[in-house]
Structure 1
Amino acid sequence: MADTQSSPGTAPLIVRRQDYRPPDWLVPEITLDFSLDPVCTQVRSILTVRRNGEHDRPLKLDGDDLTPLEVKVDGQALTADQWSMEGGALIVPLSGAAHQVETLVELAPENNSKLMGLYASGGLLCTQCEAEGFRRITFFPDRPDVLSRYSVRLEADRARYPILLANGDPIEQGSLPEGRHWALWTDPFPKPCYLFALVAGDLACNADSFVTMSGRTVKLGIWVKEADLPKTAHAMQALKNSMAWDERVYGREYDLDVFNIVAVADFNFGAMENKGLNIFNSRYILADPDTATDIDYDGVEGVVAHEYFHNWSGNRVTCRDWFQLSLKEGFTVFRDQDFSADMGSAAVKRIEDVRVLRAAQFQEDSGPLAHPVRPESYMEISNFYTATIYNKGAELIRMMALMLGRDRFRAGADLYFERHDGQAATCEDFVRAMEEGGGIELAQFRRWYEQAGTPRVRALLTHDAASQTAELVLEQTVPPTPGQPDKQPMAIPLRISLFDRESGTSRGDELLMLTEARQSFLFSKFAAPPLLSINRGFSAPVVIETDRTQADLAFLSAHDDDPFARYEAMQQLMVNVLVGRVGGQAVDDAAVVAAIRNTATDPSLDDAFIAEAIRLPSEAYIGDQLTEVDPDAIHAARESLQHRIGAELEPLWRDIHARTQANSFSLSAAAKGARKLRNTALLYLCASGIEEGAIVAFSQFSAADNMTERQAALAILANGSSAEREAALDIFYNRYRDDALTLDKWFQTQAFAFHPDTVDLVEELGRHPDFTLSNPNRIRSLYGAFAGNQWAFHHRSGKGYRLVADCIIALDKINPQTAARLVPPLGRWRRFGEARAGLMRAELQRILAQPGLSRDVTEQASKSLD
């Protein structure tokens, strides 16, 4: 793989997939010895290296911000002229086929603000090595296709770091002079260095166990600060559920004697699947009714499952190179989505997943940062942890599963795991296993991995009364994206059904394969024109265009027997009204109001589905339907429709809000659904304009026995300027000021608010004593949330752009990876009018003009301007 290092003052190097070559040297065994200290940690590594193939190239060990103290080969210390440094890497010329290479380095964890490698967080020492953090710990060929067996010895001050954890299984531990102690861990399974982990600190353990399908007992531990132990019960149950589900659905059994999870406060990601020692952002472990919403609980369950499932789809079978990132992430997201669907409502889970896909990935696919699921090049690999790799990657797996059916998909997965266990594989390896194990040909389907962009499918259904036939004509286009102006037709699986307008019944599901630019499908025995339900269950990640009328959509919103299609019909009803009004048309919204009334009073529907179906599409989603986004017009149209729905159906909202009040806290589907619907009713009730709206919202805020209802009421109050708004924000802050995760909600709620002064409020919050650039969660809660608030972020003054750009510039010096994730909203300037576009471009240019800008931000900002 090409070198990703670059010298100061030079342009960052581009890494290309086509340049891949196997590693020159393999490292089958590695022994690490850590003398841990926040100010000065020493790491001694002993690598057993083996030349890979016939060549005379030297051993190159990647390094970043390391101070080398010793270099030895086969026990002999090398002199200064026997090794050299090149862009942070250690170069050692070696003759012969195999050697033992030993290095001793020094590093300072407490100064590591990048949170990559070994760093300090809340009194802990911990690691994050994906994608290229291991080179910040010791010299090593830092690439995922070098797999090693690890033996790790940790030594530290016992009083300060009484718990010493690493990958694998614990072997020995003991005491040392001067109050120090040590522990030895070994991992018998070969793994890439990005899966290495250690944690040292004063931690308490929620200990449990799980008996595997072969009868082995696995010790489970969730390690947190002692005060947080009561908040770990949900995560532990999620872990045990995940282990049982992976055995039942995929036949995958856990393989070590222990499985540990550690929650840390400062983390760039949600969590990390390190073999046997998962390190989590604390927001995805800690949960109780007072501080966590139902969405938080679902997030804990889903992320715990995701990281556990990686034990096979990512660890036992890993990636050959980082271009194959979706091999592990797309597959594992699909697996965790299926798990969550089995644990709760499959219909609601599918709606939530598609909403995330459209909000994040569809936007990515239509902008300057569009890239294939398997990218062709990158400047900084951290920038490719994207919605395309994860969420669209999961949709590719879902389409294959749909085409194959459950049993043949399982056969393909079994073949994949068996064939590539202990190997670094590629996306092509996965597809080939699906073909051979499932008995299917996927040559054209591979284009989903190669072509960026969201396909658009135009569907036209016509009826011939004489022959009693209906013809469905499908046309597909894939829009140009950066570097890919011309696209080939995709293989698109579309679930469809045709409904009889009189009876409201359908012929049942059919799976159509659209493989050409234009195809037609003929259906017989239709005396009257049927009505089309298409992309049922969201069978393909595409945009569907039809000529269905508002009456057609209203019919489907009441009769479609596919939950997602029913939801989609309701959403399209709303979108048509909103887009029309943004365009200045006098669009009748009576059909929307009637459909919402019918849905909200349908006794056959559960509360959670009703809440999803009657929810207005977001302002960002409305903007995605337009050629040019006008944030002010979109906001006005949405607020107007929300007011109409609230006012027209006010008695209904009062009734629902009262009916769902007697709901003692539990995580049952019924209780969660009731809370979701109650919050939706409160939103519409307050939007109706009733005089006591703020009082009703404040009453819910004050009386709530759970964070779901409390935060929803706070969010509604935050949109206005009432005295109740200020009181609720003060109460919330004073109650949770010492709880960092919950205080994030206080920042986030205000940044998301549709308040006339949100821009100024966010600027003020950026100076708040509790705001810090050192914690990624706090940054995401304020600036990340604000950038997702379309109306406020795109304030015509450009002040919102300047606020985010200032944050990026300041944060880049501390944590480039988190800074880079704030750039994409500025890169959507092409979708806006020239005035706003010019202001966004100016901020991107200002960012790029900063001296010493990181690779992370440079790549995102430069691509956003191209």
Structure 2
Amino acid sequence: MRTDTARTIRLKDYKKPDYTIKKTDLTIQIFENYTQVESTLHMHKNPEVVGFPVLQLNGIDQQIQQIQLDELVLTESDYQYEDELLTVQPGKDEFVFKSITHIKPNENTSLEGLYQSGTMICSQCEAEGFRKITFYLDRPDVMSVFTTRIEADAKQYPILLSNGNPVEQGELAGGRHFATWHDPFPKPSYLFAAVAGDLVRHDDVFVTQSGREVSLRIFAEAHNAHKTDFALDSLKRSMAWDEKRYGREYDLDIFMIVASDFFNMGAMENKGLNIFNSAAVLASPETSSDDRFDRIEAIVAHEYFHNWSGNRVTCRDWFQLTLKEGLTVYRDSQFTADTHNATVKRISDVDMLKAAQFSEDAGPNAHPIQPQEYVEINNFYTATVYEKGAEVIGMIHTILGEALFRQGTDLYFETFDGQAATTDDFIGCMEKVSGHDFTQFKRWYVQAGTPNVAVEESFDANAGQYKLTFTQSCRPTPNQPEKRPFVIPVKMALLSEQGKELPISCDGDFNSDTSVLLLKEATTVVTFSGLNAKPVASLFRDFSAPVTVDMALSDQDQMTLATKDSNAFNRTNALQSVFVEVIRKLNADIDSAIPESVDELIKATLGDGSLVDAVKAQMITLPSFAVLRTMFSPINAQALAFAREKLKRHIAVTFAEQWQQLANSLASAQPYEFNAAEAGRRALHGTAISYWVSSGQVEAINFAEALYRAAENQSDRLNGLQAVLSSDDQERSEKLLTHYYRQWKDDTQMVETWLALNAGQKSFDVAQANALMAHEAFDLTNPNKVRSVLGAFASNFEAFHAGEVGNYQFIAEQIVKLDQVNPQVAARFTKVLESWRVFTEDRGVPMKQALEMIVSTDGLSPDVSELAMNALK
């Protein structure tokens, strides 16, 4: 076990930097075995600082060639380089620091800093990767104007890119060339980007609302170049939407995107030069499903929206990460909702939140959206900071309404343009435009955990009064044993038995314009008057707050909500709640009878012509294991798997005729189009085929295979193939997977899908995982390939948790191995073991032992050790 203790960074210790960097000039010279970086920093001492403190610059794996202060070249006795810090003594208010160092991108498997990605060199600097490029004040509140010159072999790297606008390019001796880029907008080092490669460029143009013409360019390696059209179109639609919805116009003359096959995350919003994981930007109907088109559109929008919510206004320190990420996730969710179907988007977002963030809140690494301390900042790029952060922004919108929220964001962008801001700055703008006091609301930023709201109802027929009692609580989380009451917005309606919305008159803090009731106390009692009969309460419409709700509903009320609620989100939620309760009973007793209400609800949903196909598909799909596992404690993995399977098979068999009819009626031979209606049709088509195959009818699996073989788009292909893979026909499954790989082995994204399809089978085990990792298609240094195998296996509840307990030891061994290659990716996999306490002992004990093996390993990175040790505390 490591004996050294990693340094803990705390928000309370924040202080302004002693020095700032007004101007940064970089010369990056790429050679075969190394890259030379010459950095010239024009520095100023903070005028608030007394005296001349030492200058400490961050730097990792820098081979120093020369250090210089103004005109003085320093000797080794004039500076100190240890513990990833270079220390010098300036002795002046203004000075120029210059360094020449060598780095080795081709050996940098961490994919942070400057690294090799296939045939190109590219960068990733968020959060602290720039220190792997050169010595710098690598912190978000140090903002500088950058000028970057890149030199490289002209044949090997004909394209040379960096942030900002192109300034100069030309030829050099020895077959080399250069390009110089200048970014006029001050930015922190984490937004720096550089790319050199043999890339294919696709162009377009966008004309801003003020009439400026912006050149749009997407670059990809030749094997991916045919898949950039959709991203370009998504970019243009994002730019137009941001102008209309938020009044934000793009500021540079050029906007560029580069697709990289090797990338730790989805994408990065570097100013003017976004670098994307290929899987998050490249699409074609033949190789990309509707889900991928949807994801690409959202990520392109997300990174573009960062130009204002993250770049023009950045975060003061990494404790403010949700300031840019939570706000931008919320903005990209609005974009998708406006562009497609708002209900479908909301259901998808909430499913993801429940699956990823609720479990995070319930685990040993729970943290607020504004953490108060960290050891490794990469570990806080989490669903809490991103998705829960977006929910918090959404609650502000819900409380204020559209007009005031827009005024608040306008004030925020205008006030803090070109600055490094805090969450308090953002909230302050909302308070200023609205007059609303958000003091208590800010507890959402500093308190971890998912609040629970228990609701009790009563009705006084004589008085015509309906009473709701709301009691909120929040479980203890690490370092926070007690929680103070949150401000919880409850978007609501009262319904008649026929589903008609009733007028609301109450004594609570209710806004009739927004239909929002605010809860501020541990217990809130609200009395509704003027009612002729007991209403049905439709609460937390559109998931107006990230909370869990306990409310005992009669069967009749549950049926009203699930079949007649005009709010499609709440209608879906009510039906899903029925599924959960049935699975809960089967989990306790597998011989329990499945209530008739399930059949009634499925029949009512399928026969409702008012519902669009996509919503129908979401309503009748059983809750995923990722969602279910947040609702059970302790989790008996095998019992839960059996319970869900029994319910699915019941629905499949009972409605086999309807599934067959839907499978045939929803089939289409029309050319592929990605839009809400067509994506919804394909979603319902896939759901029907899945249920039909689960009914056990041979003609169903024949239909699925035929669809796979005839498909001319990836959505239909996967609808057929995944249905076959979910069946008990292993021979046919193996045959189709073999066919898939032979046909698509030269396409990177299709190979990643093939790996994930293998690892997603119910029968997948460690032996198959080892075989897959030994396959020619696998590469341990490629995060997408690793996620496709290890990520898909760990997410495969029936194989990973309900299968052999040796799976836990296997994943622990892979984490340790991967930690030597890419600590950031390795750390993400420790989370699959941290929930060991909520499983029954037969699973929990070996999960804990796997974690203990990890932390006993010498030389662990801070990324892995922080999460694994927290999981065992």
Is the TM value for this pair above 0.5? Answer: yes
Partner in structure 2 of residue 278 of structure 1: 274
2:30 equivalent to 1:36: yes
Tell me the secondary structure at the aligned position of residue 822 of structure 1. helix
Q: How does 1:320-335 map to 2 (within 5 A)?
A: 320-335=316-331
Partner in structure 1 of residue 729 of structure 2: 721
Following TM superposition, by how much is the alpha carbon of 1:747 offset from its aligned partner in structure 2, in angstroms?
Answer: 1.3
Q: How does 1:382-421 map to 2 (within 5 A)?
A: 382-421=378-417
TM-score normalised per structure 1 = 0.98
For the residues of structure 2 that align with 1:582 and 1:541, how far apart are their CA atoms?
Answer: 26
1:571 aligned partner, one-letter code: Q
Tell me the secondary structure at the aligned position of residue 821 of structure 1. helix
Following TM superposition, by how much is the alpha carbon of 1:577 offset from its aligned partner in structure 2, in angstroms?
Answer: 0.6
Q: Deviation digits for residues 529-587 of structure 1, max 9, x if unmatched?
A: 11111110000000011101333222211100011101101100111111111112724
For the residues of structure 1 that align with 2:765 and 2:289, how far apart are their CA atoms?
Answer: 24
2:117 equivalent to 1:121: yes
Partner in structure 2 of residue 3 of structure 1: none
Conservation of the 8 A alpha-carbon contact between 1:107 and 1:137:
yes
Q: Deviation digits for residues 118-149 of structure 1, max 9, x if unmatched?
A: 00111101000000000000000111110000
Q: How does 1:573-592 map to 2 (within 5 A)?
A: 573-584=578-589, 586-592=592-598
Which of 660, 682, 685 is equivalent to 1:678?
685
Tell me the secondary structure at the aligned position of residue 629 of structure 2. helix
For the residues of structure 2 that align with 1:305 and 1:327, how far apart are their CA atoms?
Answer: 17
Following TM superposition, by how much is the alpha carbon of 1:503 offset from its aligned partner in structure 2, in angstroms?
Answer: 6.0
Partner in structure 1 of residue 752 of structure 2: 744
Partner in structure 1 of residue 610 of structure 2: 604
Tell me the secondary structure at the aligned position of residue 835 of structure 2. helix
Tell me the secondary structure at the aligned position of residue 458 of structure 1. strand
For the residues of structure 1 that align with 2:525 and 2:398, how far apart are their CA atoms?
Answer: 21
1:844 aligned partner, one-letter code: L
Conservation of the 8 A alpha-carbon contact between 1:38 and 1:108:
no
For the residues of structure 2 that align with 1:583 and 1:38, how far apart are their CA atoms?
Answer: 63
2:626 equivalent to 1:626: no
Using the TM superposition, name which of 565-574 and 498-507 deviates more. 498-507
Q: How does 1:134-533 map to 2 (within 5 A)?
A: 134-502=130-498, 504-507=500-503, 510-533=515-538
Tell me the secondary structure at the aligned position of residue 602 of structure 2. helix
Partner in structure 2 of residue 5 of structure 1: none
Partner in structure 2 of residue 4 of structure 1: none
Tell me the secondary structure at the aligned position of residue 164 of structure 1. strand
Partner in structure 1 of residue 507 of structure 2: none
2:517 aligned partner, one-letter code: L
Structure 1 pair 336–673 and aligned structure 2 pair: CA distance change class (3 A): same
Structure 1 pair 265–38 and aligned structure 2 pair: CA distance change class (3 A): farther
For the residues of structure 1 that align with 2:499 and 2:15, how far apart are their CA atoms?
Answer: 62
Aligned length, in residue pairs: 858
Which of 556, 561, 569 is equivalent to 1:564?
569
Following TM superposition, by how much is the alpha carbon of 1:768 offset from its aligned partner in structure 2, in angstroms?
Answer: 2.0
Partner in structure 2 of residue 763 of structure 1: 770
Structure 2, unmatched stretches of 5+, are 505-513
2:547 equivalent to 1:542: yes
Conservation of the 8 A alpha-carbon contact between 2:755 and 2:772:
yes
Tell me the secondary structure at the aligned position of residue 825 of structure 1. coil
Following TM superposition, by how much is the alpha carbon of 1:502 offset from its aligned partner in structure 2, in angstroms?
Answer: 4.5
Tell me the secondary structure at the aligned position of residue 125 of structure 1. strand
Which of 28, 46, 62 is equivalent to 1:66?
62
Q: How does 1:768-847 map to 2 (within 5 A)?
A: 768-795=775-802, 797-847=804-854
Structure 1 pair 847–215 and aligned structure 2 pair: CA distance change class (3 A): same
1:514 aligned partner, one-letter code: L
For the residues of structure 1 that align with 2:530 and 2:572, how far apart are their CA atoms?
Answer: 28
For the residues of structure 2 that align with 1:157 and 1:550, how far apart are their CA atoms?
Answer: 72
Conservation of the 8 A alpha-carbon contact between 1:715 and 1:753:
no
2:30 equivalent to 1:23: no
1:641 aligned partner, one-letter code: L
2:225 aligned partner, one-letter code: L
For the residues of structure 2 that align with 1:834 and 1:822, how far apart are their CA atoms?
Answer: 21
Following TM superposition, by how much is the alpha carbon of 1:759 offset from its aligned partner in structure 2, in angstroms?
Answer: 4.3
Following TM superposition, by how much is the alpha carbon of 1:686 offset from its aligned partner in structure 2, in angstroms?
Answer: 0.7
Using the TM superposition, name which of 601-610 and 157-166 deviates more. 601-610
Give the share of equivalent positions with the same residue, in percent: 43
Partner in structure 2 of residue 711 of structure 1: 718
Structure 1, unmatched stretches of 5+, are 1-7
Following TM superposition, by how much is the alpha carbon of 1:794 offset from its aligned partner in structure 2, in angstroms?
Answer: 1.5
Conservation of the 8 A alpha-carbon contact between 1:364 and 1:388:
yes
Tell me the secondary structure at the aligned position of residue 282 of structure 2. coil
Q: Which structure is higher in RCO with an 8 Å CA cutoff and minimum separation 6?
A: 2
Following TM superposition, by how much is the alpha carbon of 1:38 offset from its aligned partner in structure 2, in angstroms?
Answer: 4.6
Conservation of the 8 A alpha-carbon contact between 1:259 and 1:277:
yes
Following TM superposition, by how much is the alpha carbon of 1:625 offset from its aligned partner in structure 2, in angstroms?
Answer: 1.4
Partner in structure 2 of residue 51 of structure 1: 45
2:698 aligned partner, one-letter code: E
Conservation of the 8 A alpha-carbon contact between 1:554 and 1:573:
no
1:553 aligned partner, one-letter code: Q
For the residues of structure 1 that align with 2:757 and 2:113, how far apart are their CA atoms?
Answer: 32
For the residues of structure 2 that align with 1:705 and 1:17, how far apart are their CA atoms?
Answer: 53
Following TM superposition, by how much is the alpha carbon of 1:736 offset from its aligned partner in structure 2, in angstroms?
Answer: 1.2
For the residues of structure 2 that align with 1:507 and 1:735, how far apart are their CA atoms?
Answer: 60
Partner in structure 2 of residue 594 of structure 1: 600
Structure 1 pair 221–861 and aligned structure 2 pair: CA distance change class (3 A): same
Conservation of the 8 A alpha-carbon contact between 1:168 and 1:187:
yes
Conservation of the 8 A alpha-carbon contact between 2:499 and 2:566:
no
Following TM superposition, by how much is the alpha carbon of 1:808 offset from its aligned partner in structure 2, in angstroms?
Answer: 0.4
For the residues of structure 2 that align with 1:107 and 1:502, how far apart are their CA atoms?
Answer: 70
Structure 1 pair 452–55 and aligned structure 2 pair: CA distance change class (3 A): farther
Following TM superposition, by how much is the alpha carbon of 1:668 offset from its aligned partner in structure 2, in angstroms?
Answer: 2.4
For the residues of structure 2 that align with 1:763 and 1:642, how far apart are their CA atoms?
Answer: 31
2:585 equivalent to 1:616: no
2:484 aligned partner, one-letter code: Q
Following TM superposition, by how much is the alpha carbon of 1:9 offset from its aligned partner in structure 2, in angstroms?
Answer: 5.7
Conservation of the 8 A alpha-carbon contact between 1:660 and 1:675:
yes
Conservation of the 8 A alpha-carbon contact between 1:759 and 1:792:
no
Following TM superposition, by how much is the alpha carbon of 1:410 offset from its aligned partner in structure 2, in angstroms?
Answer: 0.6
Using the TM superposition, name which of 262-271 and 770-779 deviates more. 770-779
Using the TM superposition, name which of 307-316 and 526-535 deviates more. 526-535
Following TM superposition, by how much is the alpha carbon of 1:504 offset from its aligned partner in structure 2, in angstroms?
Answer: 4.5
Conservation of the 8 A alpha-carbon contact between 2:498 and 2:560:
no
Following TM superposition, by how much is the alpha carbon of 1:835 offset from its aligned partner in structure 2, in angstroms?
Answer: 2.3
For the residues of structure 1 that align with 2:643 and 2:767, how far apart are their CA atoms?
Answer: 24
For the residues of structure 2 that align with 1:120 and 1:791, how far apart are their CA atoms?
Answer: 37
1:40 aligned partner, one-letter code: Y
Tell me the secondary structure at the aligned position of residue 478 of structure 2. coil
CA RMSD of aligned residues (A): 1.3
Structure 1 pair 726–506 and aligned structure 2 pair: CA distance change class (3 A): farther
2:676 equivalent to 1:666: no
Structure 1 pair 38–282 and aligned structure 2 pair: CA distance change class (3 A): farther
Conservation of the 8 A alpha-carbon contact between 1:759 and 1:793:
no
Following TM superposition, by how much is the alpha carbon of 1:15 offset from its aligned partner in structure 2, in angstroms?
Answer: 0.7
